[in-house]
Amino acid sequence: MFDLAVIGSGPGGYVAAVRAAQLGAKVAVVEARDLGGTCLNRGCIPTKAMVKSAEAYKTIVNGEGYGVRVKEYQLDFPSVIQRKQEVVNRLVTGVEKLFSSNGITCYRGKASIPKPGMVEVSGPDAARLETRFTLIATGSGHALPPVPEAAIRRAITSDEALCLPKPPESMLVIGGGVLGVEFACIYAAFGTKIDIIKRSPLVLPPVDEELSKRIMPLLARQGIKVNAGIFIKDIQVSGDGAKRVIANTKEGKEVTFEAEEVLIAMGRVPDFGGLDLAALGIEHDSKGIKVDNRMRTSLAGVYAIGDVVGKYYLAPVASREGIIAVEDMFSTGSDMDYKVVPQCVFSSPEAASVGFTERAARDAGYSVKVSRFPFSANGKAVALGEAEGMVKVVADGETGLLLGMHILGPHATEIIHEAAIAIVLGGTAEAIATMIHAHPTLPEAIMEACHGIMGHPIHLAKVR
């Protein structure tokens, strides 16, 4: 008899399992595929390993700009893929050790829930588990365009994009969200000609609209062309083996795109893991399983977290939801709070957002004041040779309360957390502006943008 059976071992499932074990629960985890889920094996971690390889290659290619001339260099792409896999293996081994050290039993196989309080495992570790609580953390799958199944098979997803034998000469990326832009930047750095095709006019919907507009020319500078207002009808293979995408423009005109590879990167959709949710009476729809603020489903004793809930397709959100769920089971518990969720894009340059966008703040009824500070006026960014982009601060014009921050530029995904902490603590722009920041550092741009809320950024020339 287990206290908890977790279905899925991604960053939601394994974190929940560890926290439950820390609270004294006897825990089982059922995993149908790879320990660590999509994030560790086919998502966040391997893509960031490839981002680092792309950055290293770009640094060498552009070395003369830093006073370094490298006479002979080459891209060893099989080694890029090998390093990516070594990173993945190391972290998966880490999850295995977490399970072992916390006394968590892992079953390999496909899970089903024949009735409340029971989880059945079919596969290598076939078993019938009795459990007080069940946590569904089955994650998500690829969102696909509305084209025939045969057309889908002619393209690749991010899974295959992480394992290509070589960078293709050209690639069509279907989708301009986080996934599409990250892979576009990775392969553009390796020399692939990139076309992004998408329906909506802007890329990167998580970030503030202004930053989305600002990154478009920066992508173009890398050879990444964004084609908006494109509605895909079919994916074909031409006589010479090239992939051809047949599409319509928003005006109804038929257009075609050709490339060596077509990458479908339209985001994620909930994956219910084959569980018969309807038979169990668990309320859900195509957007995910319905849960309350403690991650409880409509069936007593059954909880759901992560991508399968469909609120945020983000690993850290899944982890936090997992902790909320098991603390509700085995401790006093608290409500899940989505107020502060940093959203990061490992594009080139990076983009990161937290809190309200300018438009959302105005829609919420705030008296909004906005300040911007460019990295071109930040000493560290100039020294790095990465002076593109800016920090944008959204604050309450009456109280100075920090409502949101949006960063496009070097290490945006790291420095956004200064804003996240400030918003969590109910901080003001003035508090950040008057805090002494180390020099020269990138967060000084945050400090200056907050000075701008008070009307006097220091390192920005007045416009006469």
- The residue written with tokens 């489903």 in the block is 297
Q: Are 197 and 169 in contact (CB under 8 A)?
A: no
Residue closest to 30 by CA, chosen among 5, 4, 65: 5
Mean pLDDT per 10-residue segment, the chain (464 residues): 98 98 98 95 97 96 94 95 98 97 98 96 96 98 94 96 97 96 98 96 87 95 96 91 93 95 96 96 96 97 98 96 98 94 96 96 96 97 97 96 98 98 97 97 98 88 68
| Pairwise CA distance, residues 142 & 177, whole Å | 13
DSSP codes of every residue in 151-189: HHTTSB-HHHHTS-SS--SEEEEE--SHHHHHHHHHHHH
Residue closest to 38 by CA, chosen among 88, 4, 97: 88
Q: Are 266 and 143 in contact (CB under 8 A)?
A: yes
Question: What ranges in 238-386 are assigned the alpha helix state H?
Answer: 277-280, 315-330, 358-363, 379-384
Q: Which tokens sit at 287?
A: 């957007």
| Pairwise CA distance, residues 341 & 137, whole Å | 19
Burial of 353 (0-12, 13-18, 19+ CB in 10 A): buried
Residue closest to 151 by CA, chosen among 29, 235, 207, 31: 235
pLDDT at 356: 96
Q: Which tokens sit at 183?
A: 């892979």
Q: ∠ CA(96), CA(97), CA(102), 5° rounding? A: 105
Peptide bond into 440 cis (omega under 30): yes
| Pairwise CA distance, residues 224 & 183, whole Å | 11
Quote the distance between the C-alpha of residue 15 and its chain's center.
18
| Pairwise CA distance, residues 291 & 376, whole Å | 45
The whole-model pTM stands at 0.95
Question: What ranges in 162-303 are assigned the alpha helix state H?
Answer: 178-189, 209-221, 277-280
Q: Are 418 and 429 in contact (CB under 8 A)?
A: no
| Pairwise CA distance, residues 21 & 166, whole Å | 43
pLDDT at 411: 98
Burial of 368 (0-12, 13-18, 19+ CB in 10 A): buried
Cα of first residue to Cα of last residue in the chain, in angstroms, is 75
Burial of 258 (0-12, 13-18, 19+ CB in 10 A): middle
Quote the distance between the C-alpha of residue 1 and its chain's center.
36
- Radius of gyration (C-alpha) of the chain in whole angstroms: 24
- Give the active site residues: 439
Strand ranges of the sheet holding 243-249, from the earlier edge strand across to the other edge: 230-237, 243-249, 254-259
Q: Which tokens sit at 2?
A: 């287990």
- Chain length of the chain: 464
pLDDT at 8: 98
pLDDT at 240: 82
pLDDT at 463: 61
| Pairwise CA distance, residues 49 & 341, whole Å | 23
Residue closest to 215 by CA, chosen among 243, 177, 173, 189: 177
Name beta bridge partners: 396: 368
H or E element, residue 405: strand 402-409
pLDDT at 464: 59
